[in-house]
């Protein structure tokens, strides 16, 4: 039997090469195309980061202006897609909505040959918030919203469509920062799923649909929603401390903690945590932040497990008035950049991804006719 701790879930296995990202590397931490995530979070816009990942370099001002203008011009939804979004039930999970919408776009705007890949990547980046919030606003308020706004950023566009008005610069900056932190993370489960699909020389819409399906689960992107559900259960730090101790005794998973690659901390957490605190202060109610800190302390004291990017992202989104069920879809609005960059990288040096399995089934059996079984 294979040693599960060593090889289960491909842990520790190097499954290919990438020039896009390092995760938890000694002396490097989290980097995108050679840039430290902290430099990007402090100084870059999400659109600059998207350009870096998808076009391979930080844009000049002229390139950025052009890129932003292109994104803005691609936010509109085709009528056929609006009809599909209206037909999807109101109680569907928004991740399923995105998966279906991307798949449908693959039918009405097929990629064709791969020379079109940069355009398809930009189109998906531009249209993702429009898809999500058209569906959301239609089913929650009966409104058929216009999905084109004048906002220069993906974050501004998202919050504008959600709340029906342009966000404050502070909220726009906070959402943009979380988009930067979520943009790319090497061979995580959804990206790897996308690369496996791409390896067959399939199209970008298929690879992204598969990646959305992988991101949906609570062990991956879905953890930010599960983290919100957890912290909302507690009305004080004391209650949270007691509650999480009880959960650990019952061997329950605490969502938003632990990581396959990082061993002592997730570098994205400190940025999200600082934003969560600032947003709680703006709101004038520190309860949820204090509850989150209490959960974080118990997890470290008891299990030496640290908060990952999803844990404080939950309260950041909550403080901006974003409904919990839209948290994981926000991850999609960001990670589409990393996915598309990996799809292009896989295509540039493609090899079908087809590993081997260790067979643990029965030995060769004698064939039995149906009446003899």
Q: Which of 139, 171, 259, 318 is catalytic?
A: 259
Closer residue to ligand COA in complex, CB, 88/253:
253
Chain residue at closest Cβ approach to ligand COA: 258
Residue 259 known to be catalytic: yes
Q: How far is the CB of 61 from ligand COA (least distance, A)?
A: 34
Q: Which residues bind ligand COA (CB under 6 A)?
A: 9, 219-220, 223, 253-260, 303, 305, 308-310
Closer residue to ligand COA in complex, CB, 9/141:
9
Please, are residues 243 and 275 in contact by the beta-carbon 8 Å criterion? no
Residue with tokens 């050679």: 34
35: which strand partners? 32
Please, are residues 272 and 179 in contact by the beta-carbon 8 Å criterion? no
Question: What totals of helices (H) and strands (E) does the chain contain, helices first?
Answer: 17, 3
Residue 51 known to be catalytic: no
Q: How far is the CB of 330 from ligand COA (least distance, A)?
A: 15
Mapped onto helix, strand or coil, the DSSP state of residue 26 is coil
Residue 310 known to be catalytic: yes
Q: How far apart are CA 111 and CA 204, in angstroms?
A: 7
Q: Which of 93, 119, 163, 220 is catalytic?
A: 220
Q: How far is the CB of 142 from ligand COA (least distance, A)?
A: 35
**What residues contact residue 67 under an 8 Å CB cut-off, 6+ apart?**
47, 50, 51, 55, 59, 122
Q: How far is the CB of 252 from ligand COA (least distance, A)?
A: 7
Closer residue to ligand COA in complex, CB, 289/306:
306
Considering only CA atoms, which of 148, 132, 135, 128 is closest in space to residue 85? Answer: 135
Q: Which of 139, 203, 310, 342 is catalytic?
A: 310
Closer residue to ligand COA in complex, CB, 23/333:
23
Catalytic residues: 220, 259, 310
């Amino acid at each position: 039997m294979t040693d599960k701790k060593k090889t289960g879930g491909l842990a520790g296995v190097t499954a290919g090469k990438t020039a896009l990202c390092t995760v938890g590397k000694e002396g490097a931490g989290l980097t995108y195309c050679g840039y430290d995530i902290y430099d990007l979070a402090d100084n870059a816009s999400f659109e600059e980061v998207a350009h870096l990942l998808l076009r391979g370099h930080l844009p000049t001002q002229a390139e950025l202006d052009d890129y932003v203008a292109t994104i803005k011009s691609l936010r509109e939804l085709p009528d056929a897609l609006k009809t599909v979004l209206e037909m999807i039930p109101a109680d569907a999970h928004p991740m399923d909505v995105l998966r279906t919408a991307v798949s449908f776009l693959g039918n009405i705007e097929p990629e064709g040959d791969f020379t079109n890949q940069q355009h398809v990547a930009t189109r998906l980046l531009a249209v993702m918030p429009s898809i999500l919030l058209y569906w959301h606003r239609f089913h929650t308020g009966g409104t058929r919203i216009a999905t084109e706004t004048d906002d220069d950023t993906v974050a501004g566009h998202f919050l504008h469509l959600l709340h029906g008005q342009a966000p404050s610069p502070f909220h726009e900056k906070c959402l943009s920062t979380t988009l930067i932190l979520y943009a790319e993370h090497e061979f995580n489960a959804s990206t790897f799923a996308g690369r496996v699909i791409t390896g067959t020389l399939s199209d970008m819409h298929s690879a992204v649909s598969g990646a959305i399906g992988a991101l949906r689960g609570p062990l991956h992107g879905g953890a930010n929603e599960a983290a919100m559900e957890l912290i909302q259960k507690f009305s004080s730090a004391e209650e949270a401390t007691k509650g999480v101790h009880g959960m650990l005794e019952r061997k329950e998973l605490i969502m938003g903690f632990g990581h396959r690659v990082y061993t002592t901390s997730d570098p994205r957490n400190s940025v999200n945590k600082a934003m969560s605190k600032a947003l709680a202060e703006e709101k004038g109610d520190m309860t949820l932040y204090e509850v989150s800190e209490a959960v974080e302390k118990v997890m470290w004291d008891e299990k030496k497990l640290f908060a990952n990017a999803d844990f404080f992202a939950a309260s950041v989104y909550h403080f901006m008035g974003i409904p919990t069920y839209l948290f994981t879809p926000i991850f999609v609005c960001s990670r589409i950049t990393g996915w598309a960059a990996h799809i292009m990288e896989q295509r540039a040096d493609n090899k079908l991804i087809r590993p081997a399995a260790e067979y643990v089934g029965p030995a060769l059996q004698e064939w039995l006719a149906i009446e003899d079984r």
